[in-house]
Amino acid sequence: MQKRFSIASDVSQAIKAAHEGDFTALLEDDTERWWAFVRERFDLGADELMLRIDLEDASLGPWCIWLLFSLQEHGSALALEGVLIPDYENDPDAALATPEGREQVPYFVLS
């Protein structure tokens, strides 16, 4: 399967745009599914969400990065709180693992 992002700068630019409120480059055709996921999870009481972006490294294989979002106090805004990158070079098992301490946070996958 073709990965959404082919180089790190593509991912970086898409994350920067999302941080500024433009999710187009990041979500592409998954925009409606993402916002439905967000609404559903927040309606169920979640106050944090993660977005997993699957990537491929020529030498190390598949890995992912995680974007952590939180619901703002008025319930009508979503804030990008952080970008979580596993230490897959030193711990190959971490490449696709849910970030430690975030195992219960609902997440959406982009491939």
Reading the chain (111 residues) residue by residue, the pLDDT tens digits are: 455 676 666 888 888 888 787 888 888 889 899 989 999 998 898 999 999 988 887 777 788 889 999 988 776 678 889 999 888 778 878 888 899 899 999 999 987
CA–CA distance, 38 with 27 (Å, rounded to integer) = 13
- The pTM (predicted TM-score) of the whole model is 0.84
Q: How much is the pLDDT for 1? A: 45
**DSSP structural state of residue 59:** T
Q: Would you say how long the chain is, in residues?
A: 111
